Amino acid sequence: MTKKHLHFYGGVHPQESKTASGAAIVSAPLLATYVVPLQQHIGVPAKPVVAKGDKVLRGQLIGEPGGFISAAIHAPTSGTVKEIATCLGPAGNQLPAVILESDGDDLAAEPMPALDWPNASPDELKKRIAEAGIVGMGGAAFPSVVKLSPPPNKTIDTLILNGVECEPCLTADHRLMLEKPEQVITGARITARVLGVKRVIIAIEENKPDAVALLQEKAAGTEVEVRSLRVRYPQGAEKQLIYALTGRKVPSGGLPMDVGCVVQNVGTASAICEAVCEGKPLYERVTTVTGSPLVAPGNWRFRVGTPYAEAIKLAGGVKVDPVKIISGGPMMGMAVYSLDIPIMKNCSGILLLAADEVRQYESSPCIRCGRCNDTCPMGMMPGILSVQIEKERFELAEQWHVLDCIECGCCAYGCPAGRPLVQLMRRAKGEVMAARKAKAAKKA
């Protein structure tokens, strides 16, 4: 029997452009040098545990967590530490990094012992997830062990695995589900054991019927349920996903755990399976490299620390010059100005756009059409908010719940005035968070 799902408010239907969905995952060849950031996650950067001149092996710890919200970093191959330096991140910021010169041998460190996960305790499993440096691989890069350790007063009864991949152009999760379905399902079951939940749902948009059918087949006889959802952006946003599957609404300022849910990306589940069942830390991931300027768009398994320039070379280089390069997808991705940026644990895609695919115009005043209100999946009023933000009325923006904005881009996508609505929201959120931090520091 097909289960009916609820539909969230708003949303848009951008062109999918998933041209690489038929391209099988290819393992990228070894490089001479890797630039491995020590901050590939939300929170505190990892602390280097190696120094210039040290010899390291693939999978060896090179950065230990720098705090509670942090993650371990491991060497992507064997070689010599050239230096501890900084590198450019996708946001244009400088990140601490380990520069690793490969020796070409790709020798592996002694793997962590495989765990008998059905009989391992939740604490043993969480310890392994932390040791492996697992973070959310859908983009947020939140340390997984923290997400899987809810406070005692929060009762979790549902685990949702996000295989929706609603962002246009990206196909890495789709290919992973097709090529590693057992890993995804086992990772989901391990995560469910950590949380102590019996209800496990893998959510996939109905534009991936092959992945839906395959995972349903592989999940038969387990506690894992595979659900097909209506195609609508941003169906994969966790609050919208929770509502569609459970009917529960995450309160303003709240988190999924407030309604008894935890949401994990399918890539994260796959990495958890590898860490627990094979003792493999997270030092590589599947990334889509796509866009009309490329000769051969596709999906590759890259070692972390691979420069974007090398990824583009693997896609055959360009046949026309791109005018914009985006880390991520067209809706929520971030434009970058350098190809020296390294692929990190949360890099789901690299997108190149040609001149005829990029609208260039000057922003004009809001015309009060209300289109952004109709498409905002959080039920906010981006147009009115943006006018107040331009006037730097950040306290008013806070009262109007600007922090609830998920930066999905629906408002800007349909704005006939071409207003930079997402950028204005980001600015206001930054100002509000800075003001709260300053207020807390003053109280302390």
Phi and psi torsions of 216, nearest 5°? -65, -40
261 belongs to an annotated ligand binding site: no
Cα 383 to Cα 399: distance, rounded to the nearest angstrom = 15
277 belongs to an annotated ligand binding site: no
366 belongs to an annotated ligand binding site: yes
411 belongs to an annotated ligand binding site: yes
In a domain, 296, yes or no: yes
Q: Is there a single domain that holds both residue 262 and residue 128?
A: yes
Structure-block tokens of residue 190: 């391990």
> DSSP secondary-structure letter at 259?
G
Per-residue pLDDT of the chain (444 residues; tens, 9 = 90+): 345 567 899 999 999 999 999 999 999 999 999 999 999 999 999 999 999 999 999 999 999 999 999 999 999 999 999 999 999 999 999 999 999 999 999 999 999 999 999 999 999 999 999 999 999 998 889 999 999 999 999 999 999 999 999 999 999 999 999 999 999 999 999 999 999 999 999 999 999 999 999 999 999 999 999 999 999 999 999 999 999 999 999 999 999 999 999 999 999 999 999 999 999 999 999 999 999 999 999 999 999 999 999 999 999 999 999 999 999 999 999 999 999 999 999 999 999 999 999 987 778 899 999 999 999 999 999 999 999 999 999 999 999 999 999 999 999 999 999 999 999 999 999 999 999 999 999 887
Integer CA distances (angstroms), 379 to 29, 332, 368, 386, in order: 46, 18, 16, 15
Domain stops at, among 278, 302, 317: 278
Cα 171 to Cα 185: distance, rounded to the nearest angstrom = 19
372 belongs to an annotated ligand binding site: yes
> By three-state DSSP, how is residue 80 classified?
strand
Closest CA to 59 of 281, 274, 279: 281
Q: Is there a single domain that holds both residue 162 and residue 271?
A: yes
Q: Is there a single domain that holds both residue 314 and residue 412?
A: no
Q: Is there a single domain that holds both residue 36 and residue 89?
A: yes
Note the Cα 345 to chain centre separation in Å.
8
> By three-state DSSP, how is residue 202 classified?
strand
**Can you say whether residue 5 is alpha, beta or left, with left for phi > 0 and alpha for psi between -120 and 50 degrees?**
beta
Phi and psi torsions of 86, nearest 5°? -130, 160
Domain stops at, among 247, 278, 309: 278
**Which residues, in sequence order, are CB contacts of 212 under 8 Å at separation 6+?**
204, 206, 226, 228
273 belongs to an annotated ligand binding site: no
Predicted TM-score (pTM) of the model is 0.95
87 belongs to an annotated ligand binding site: no
Phi and psi torsions of 314, nearest 5°? -65, -30
In a domain, 107, yes or no: no
